[in-house]
Structure formats: structure tokens, C-alpha cells
Amino acid sequence: MRVFISVDMEGMPFIASGEHLHVKGALFSEARRIATKITLWCAEAFRREGFEEVIVADSHGPMITLDVENLPEYVKLTRGFPRPLSMITGVEKADAVVFLGYHSKAGTPRSNFDHTYSSATIDSVEINGIPASEFLLNAYVAGHFNKPVILVAGDQALLEDDVAKYAPWSVRVVLKESHSRFACTSPSLEKIRKELEKAVAEASEKFKKGEMKALKAAYPVEVKIRFLGTEMADIAELLPIIERIDGKTVKYTAKDIVEAYKILELLVAAAPKLYPYSVMP
């Protein structure tokens, strides 16, 4: 068996400052150590549960967050950007899917770094009329390949909202309780390690019993994107498939979620940015 782990940063414990999130940030090294520890704890726990290979997708910002120097031989790491399916590249090769360090969708009140896919570009995303988080987007892509999301660890706001609503079978681990966009409370790393190991055992057992489900979007897929600026919608509208709804909002229809995801990735890459960091999943 193989497990796929997509690792983001904003939902990791103790991450509260923008200085944690960028390669040149004063606190980036601390954030990197935290994310790497949690990823390795999770990988080791799945190994003990009988998963022979762990496929990790480094999925924050420029996607070079994790420390690679002490990876076990059973771990494969995908890093760097751009890549075919961004945060979820390689998911089709696994049997089960895990999301670590995931955060809530754009517009969620009192939630650390709430955004959907690009805080520098996007105000909101809807998939078939549903306001989407990165969890929902990526879970739909996993579902396209019939891969269930069996465990999600991250911000309590995300877990109690999208995860509980759309994938109630997934095991959930709270890594932080947010108080505002830049404030949170987290358990100790030692407590997190114990809770993760327990959650991995539970998720593995439920997966082996066939109790996990693949989350699927209805096809074709309608995507609605509200950008932060009208100039971003101006650029998006250059694509013939894009329909302009208002100054900042566009929509398009794709044959499936994989096509929809790639178009979203392209629109984000093409849009002029209000901030220096062009992509921050």
C-alpha cells in the first residue's frame, strides 16, 4: 500500500506570522522544522501500519518547505512549482490520501491565513456553487482518481467546517485553534505527535475495512473565481472559455475537476500580483 501526503504550512501548529511563511522570512526555519517533524511522524506511523511507500507533496508557496536531509528510504518527495496538479501531484499513484497543515477557505472569520489557493490573487473560489477550500479542491482531485482522503490535520476551523461537512469519514487532528488571522493556540508538539499516531492507526484501520470514501465532484465542473483586483479578471477574460460576470468575478466550465484545477492554476499564474509572493497554497 501507498499513502500520499500533501503538506501545507498555514494550518501547522504555532504558525502565526507572515514571517513563518516565506523562504526569506525571519521565522521560516522554525516553520520548516515544525512541518518536517509532523510530516515524518505521520510517515513513520503509516509505515508501522503496513504502508510500504509514502509519497509526500511539498505543497506550500514555492513548494520547497520541507527539510530533505533525513527522509527515510520509503519516502518519496515531490517539490517545486509549477507542476501538473500543484498540491496534489502524484495522488493517482497512491491508495490513500492525507492532508497535513491545511487551513480554512478564503473569508473564514477568525482563522489563521484563510485563503483559497492564492492569497495574492483570489478572493474566493466556488466549485459547482460550493465555496471551496484547498481541502475541497484537492479532495475532489483525489476523488477523480478514486482515492479517499483518510486523515486531515490542520486548523480547527477547517476541520469543523469543510472536512466534517464533505468528508465526515476522514479522521481529523486539530493542530491549532485560531483566534484571528494572525493569532492561534496550539497543543505541544509532543501531544500532537501522540494524537497523530493515534489518528493514523484509526484512519488505517478504517481504510483497510473499506470505510473510507472518495469525494467526487459532479461533472462537468463549473468554477467561479472572484479575484482581488479587476486587472486580474481582465487577464483571465483573454481566455475564450472565460465568462466575465462582474469587475472581479469570472467563471468557466471544465469537463472534470482535473481540467478545472489546471485552468485555475494557469489563471493564478497569469494574473498580475498585488503582493510579492505569487502563489501561496
Angle between helices 28-48 and 189-208 (to 10 degrees): 40
**Model pLDDT, residue 281:** 58
Whether the CB-CB separation of 131 and 198 falls below 8 Å is answered with no
Q: What is the mean pLDDT of residues 125-134?
A: 98
- pLDDT (average), residues 110-131: 95
pLDDT value for 279: 43
| Structural domain includes residue 138 | yes
Quick check: 280 pLDDT over 60? no
- The pLDDT of 204-222, averaged and rounded, is 98
In this structure, is residue 170 part of a structural domain? yes
pLDDT tops 80 at residue 78: yes
Domain-located, residue 218: no
Terminal C-alpha separation, the chain: 27
Looking at the domain assignment, is residue 161 inside a domain? yes
Contact 125, 137 (CB under 8 A): yes
Predicted confidence band of residue 89 (pLDDT cuts 50, 70, 90): very high
Averaged pLDDT, 260-265: 97
Q: Is residue 12 part of a domain?
A: yes
- Alpha-carbon span 105 to 60, nearest angstrom: 15
Give 91's pLDDT tier (boundaries 50, 70, 90).
Answer: very high
159 vs 65, 100, 102, CA distance in Å?
A: 23, 11, 9
pLDDT for 26: 96
The structural domain count of the chain equals 1
CATH code, domain carrying 26: 3.40.50.10780
User: Using 50, 70 and 90 to split pLDDT, how confident is the model at 274?
Assistant: low
Interatomic CA distance for residues 234 and 249, integer angstroms: 10
pLDDT above 70 for 162: yes
Say what the pLDDT of residue 272 is.
Answer: 82
Q: What is the pLDDT of residue 70?
A: 87
Position 278 pLDDT exceeds 50: no
246 within some domain: no
Q: Is the residue at 147 inside a domain?
A: yes
Mean pLDDT of the chain: 95
- What range does the domain containing 197 cover? 2-116+131-208
pLDDT digits (tens, 9 = 90+) for 232-259: 999 999 999 999 999 999 999 999 999 9
Residue 182 neighbours by CB distance under 10 Å: 11
In three-state secondary structure terms, 65 is coil
In a domain, 70, yes or no: yes
What average pLDDT does this structure show over 122-146?
98
The region of weakest confidence among 120-124, 158-162, 269-273 is: 269-273
